[in-house]
Structure 1
């Protein structure tokens, strides 16, 4: 309570996946607070509820679900990925979020049709004045809150490429029907991120009748949803034993392993036989071209295997292999008609009808806070280094992984910090400066003012350690499962958690046993490497 016996107030800005999970944990951790969530739209499904027909999530249902609301196990269907049944499809993730909101009775705390336009420190220096525009009455209002959690994420906004009439409106393309309007055109998609690869693949579908080019400055890490050897989701081959190896060692071995796997896939299939028939079993020229392009794109990636974002699209490589999508180098002039060749190919002269500038994002933090605040001002991507009552959830981006599960661990931490259940680390400003410098060095190709790049589980482990909630297996069998089964945030031990996951079967081990033994054999090397001063 405040001094006048009125309840303290928390504002949550945004009711997508990160806003919903923050709201749920705020209600749990702050029972005597008034918690209000502002949402501009009339939905609680966020950006990925049903972005377009045919949507398939890049992470599995098992690894993306909230640990406090588990509904999916790690079972793999015996169809080699034909159904994509292990992933959220079409509107399934939106349905999951709606069920989540209903199950925990969250909707009564959400103010729809309210766009927050400003968050300012009042003259008295305590709390925050939150100004918002109410759609139905077309006017603005302002209310004071004791703490604020910003869950708006990033807004797609291309970097300046010129003023050519061929440039598409990226915001419209991100709408449900945006890309469907582009048919029978010559299209150049500029960018190497997951959004660019997704746009290019969808525009290159045969029914659209487009001639599509993807313009890249360097190679990209293509990590298919389904592992081409094992025939199971790639998510299910990442376990805590693998992730416990120092990233320098994992990068060195992993890059060589991926290159060898692409070059000698037949030998790997014989060495590690799978019970699932993979989609690649058809063979033929398309299969060989997929391998060739996977090798070329990975070879020219600028950063280490675990130091840059991955594109998880099985269909993207198929589109390139079938010739529906051509890869070219960067544009050489402002007309966007001349392009370097990729990987030694000849330069290209292209006259595009449409140029899709999928090369940038914008944060609303500066707009909301009225200053130059950016993500790098927040320790661990969620706690402001100066203000102990201002937080972010949902701005961390995993090189491999998913945002909702990371957001849940962030939400648990920030609500516990607000409640005083977890102490704020001493010297946050100093810690944040060191952390920001380390991320700039490791993730050299990422603008860390906009994005907080992370390795999903090492990062979540760091947050869980602050809450003293790291994985605590109760038996040797539990320990073996946590080390060798698919990594998941279900492993964390939150004693006050009210989740009901007892009905989920114990997850199986999908990584072949010889590779498990190899990882155990690497642990002494890992320990020795970490003992070198300056390495952790």
Structure 2
């Protein structure tokens, strides 16, 4: 029975072992991991030696439908599944997956692989050496031979901190973004909001840069809102974000759907919809990015997000050269930029100059001008990770055949078949070893290795390898994309064709989002059956509800909540009286574990002349399925600070619809919400969206004789308040 050594017990390693055990039972897999629990990067109770950690409260960037395997439905793991599960819930999912599909006897946890050797004297064998009981007093070196080797240890093996002159001398005030969450509960001390603690500087763009800058700004805002006074103190120091590439900051929900059935959907369901591809066979796009495709991508995002949001969410160089845009995901980033809490600069940091507690940081703009940021108290390095540590286990002779490049963290290897193997050395395979490892791709890669190692000879071509070599040789600024294997839809379809997997029908046709549950492999018949089919069926049922059912309103609630962030001018009309005021939505950490997002809402009403009367309330959003279709307003008890007292309103949302007033352009939507006001009357809220931003919104107190309604064509109202930026 061929033995397979799998390095890594994260999602890639688990799905590889499960696929071999259930679909190719002639194999005997063994999983090695230096941690004492499965989960890999998602293990939120890590060993002390783990170099990269995740915040257990961090939601996933992609929805539950993409962060899943085809044969384990999230409802089998959790009673209530949020659309974007948190890291600790992903850890639960992987633990459940392992218990169901991966026997304990094949798990060698607490075993750190330190070297491998490929022996080809009498048939190919891999000698794997590991430290048994790693990190304990009984630690010892062991070794064993295997027939195949699967590298499933992930791409994000080690934190990357670039060499910047002066940075080491300021190291006591430098935080890598992967450990920022460890300071969240005391973030006011780490990042502060008073003059003595200085500016917080975030270095690095893309995902971690946006997340770190947003986390720092939220920490400062939350610290200011922890006061026990009746005033909200101003945050003295802003967050300064320096990034070297253009990017789009995307919210987690995007407008999508037909003219008749528009909705806000999770970004992955919107962006990975097959209807976005041209008619005919789907081709996998891999290689340097031409200018016309860059322009088309920018046009897509601008049309989708809207001009107003673009002003704060699209960070460009301002230069004539066209660079491939990167994508970052963050609900709060653009609104923090709008509010001035985050200041952005394009450039590359060239030096750090410490002076006792603070430092000045010099950076070069794209045009070569040198600028300085003074009074920097904390530097957050959102500079990503490198994969080289995971590859150090392979012998030099193997790395040579894989065209290993130790200076290219984006494409360190040249692999074929969707980043899985090389024909010259097919006894070593890779699962999840690339930037942006979607779980569906991991599952496809594991299936491909099973086909290959069981004797099915694939057709190898030079096409993918040649494309990767062109990416390597291309200008990193002008032709390289964020993810070398970023065409998720094309890659899933290519794997499905290669493996003979037929995509399941959704709502009567073959279109709709690409998710793993639509690609069940029924070709082998081993380990497949009604239980696996039921898991996929439940997932597809939940997907339909997210697209068209009651759960579709979750996106609308999240979109409204996100877009209210910041300052609004309002005009209140009651009879012949008009009152102008200012309303500000300040974000902070949720003060109750039952909620996921929270604002302190400050309303300042002009009484006479310059006299203002301020009132406060709390707005909350829970993103659990049973509560995510409503937004709650709470009254405030100022005696103990800005603390929620009792619910004063609960907004019940109506379905999204297209703008009907004739003034909208493409991307105009209306969402309505109803509530019972403090005086017992019906309150109707109407939010006018352009792209993902609210252009204006209004609150109408309806006349009691009118009853509940979601339209304004005729009903009488007692008062009306209109809000504008």
Q: CA deviation at 1:218?
A: 2.6
Q: Does 1:378 align with 2:415?
A: yes
Indicate the residue corresponding to 1:314 in structure 2.
Answer: 331
CA 1:293–1:161 in structure 2 vs 1: closer, same or farther (change >3 Å)?
same
Q: CA deviation at 1:84?
A: 10
TM-score norm. by structure 1 comes to: 0.75
Indicate the residue corresponding to 2:674 in structure 1.
Answer: none
CA 1:295–1:356 in structure 2 vs 1: closer, same or farther (change >3 Å)?
closer
TM-score norm. by structure 2 comes to: 0.57
Q: Does 1:183 align with 2:191?
A: yes
Indicate the residue corresponding to 1:140 in structure 2.
Answer: 141
Indicate the residue corresponding to 2:458 in structure 1.
Answer: 424
Indicate the residue corresponding to 2:503 in structure 1.
Answer: 471
Counterpart mapping for 1:112-131 below 5 A = 112-122=109-119, 124=121, 126-131=124-129
Q: Which has the higher helix share?
A: 1
Within the candidate set 366, 380, 399, 1:356 is matched to 380
Q: CA deviation at 1:316?
A: 1.9
Indicate the residue corresponding to 2:16 in structure 1.
Answer: 22
Counterpart mapping for 1:122-521 below 5 A = 122=119, 124=121, 126-134=124-132, 135=134, 136=136, 137-153=138-154, 154-155=156-157, 156-164=159-167, 165-167=169-171, 173-174=178-179, 177=182, 182-184=190-192, 185=197, 186-205=199-218, 206-207=221-222, 211-227=238-254, 230-238=263-271, 239-244=273-278, 252-264=295-307, 290-297=309-316, 309-331=326-348, 333-335=350-352, 337-340=361-364, 347-363=371-387, 364-371=389-396, 372=399, 374=404, 375-379=412-416, 380-398=418-436, 403-420=438-455, 422-426=456-460, 430-440=462-472, 444-445=476-477, 452-471=484-503, 473=505, 478-479=508-509, 482-483=510-511, 485-495=512-522, 496=525, 497-498=528-529, 499=532, 500=534, 501-504=536-539, 505=541, 507=544
Q: CA deviation at 1:296?
A: 4.4
Aligned residues of 1:308 and 1:445 also touching (Cα < 8 A):
no
In the alignment of these two chains, the number of paired residues is: 463
Within the candidate set 29, 32, 54, 1:35 is matched to 29
Judge which range, 505-514 or 229-238, deviates more: 505-514
CA 1:302–1:208 in structure 2 vs 1: closer, same or farther (change >3 Å)?
farther
Indicate the residue corresponding to 2:94 in structure 1.
Answer: 97
| Per-residue CA distance 1:385-434 (angstroms, 9 max, x = gap) | 42111011112334xxx6222211111111221122x423335xx34532
Aligned residues of 2:177 and 2:208 also touching (Cα < 8 A):
no
Aligned residues of 1:218 and 1:300 also touching (Cα < 8 A):
no
CA 1:345–1:226 in structure 2 vs 1: closer, same or farther (change >3 Å)?
farther
Indicate the residue corresponding to 1:80 in structure 2.
Answer: none
Q: Structure 2 stretches of 5 or more lacking a match?
A: 45-53, 225-236, 257-262, 354-360, 405-411, 553-655, 659-665, 667-725
Aligned residues of 1:38 and 1:116 also touching (Cα < 8 A):
yes
SS at match of 1:453: coil
Higher relative contact order (CA 8 A, sep 6+): 1
Judge which range, 239-248 or 44-53, deviates more: 239-248
Q: CA deviation at 1:458?
A: 0.6
| Per-residue CA distance 1:426-446 (angstroms, 9 max, x = gap) | 35xx34532313544789459
SS at match of 1:328: strand
C-alpha separation in 1, matches of 2:478 and 2:212: 20
C-alpha separation in 1, matches of 2:321 and 2:449: 34
Aligned residues of 2:247 and 2:315 also touching (Cα < 8 A):
no
Q: CA deviation at 1:29?
A: 3.2
| Per-residue CA distance 1:246-268 (angstroms, 9 max, x = gap) | 7788755442243244445xxxx
CA 1:309–1:119 in structure 2 vs 1: closer, same or farther (change >3 Å)?
farther
C-alpha separation in 2, matches of 1:145 and 1:163: 47
CA 1:21–1:121 in structure 2 vs 1: closer, same or farther (change >3 Å)?
same
SS at match of 2:392: helix
Aligned residues of 1:120 and 1:128 also touching (Cα < 8 A):
yes
Q: CA deviation at 1:345?
A: 11
Indicate the residue corresponding to 1:64 in structure 2.
Answer: 67
C-alpha separation in 1, matches of 2:479 and 2:391: 15
Aligned residues of 2:247 and 2:314 also touching (Cα < 8 A):
no
Aligned residues of 1:14 and 1:152 also touching (Cα < 8 A):
yes
Aligned residues of 2:415 and 2:465 also touching (Cα < 8 A):
no
C-alpha separation in 1, matches of 2:429 and 2:483: 15
Q: CA deviation at 1:344?
A: 12
Q: Structure 1 stretches of 5 or more lacking a match?
A: 1-6, 74-82, 265-287, 519-536
| Per-residue CA distance 1:13-49 (angstroms, 9 max, x = gap) | 0001111111111212331332110011112122134
Indicate the residue corresponding to 2:677 in structure 1.
Answer: none
C-alpha separation in 2, matches of 1:176 and 1:262: 29
The root-mean-square deviation of aligned C-alpha atoms, in Å, is 3.8
C-alpha separation in 1, matches of 2:474 and 2:101: 39
| Per-residue CA distance 1:206-233 (angstroms, 9 max, x = gap) | 2357742211123212221111684322
Q: CA deviation at 1:158?
A: 2.1
Aligned residues of 2:439 and 2:516 also touching (Cα < 8 A):
no
Judge which range, 254-263 or 341-350, deviates more: 341-350
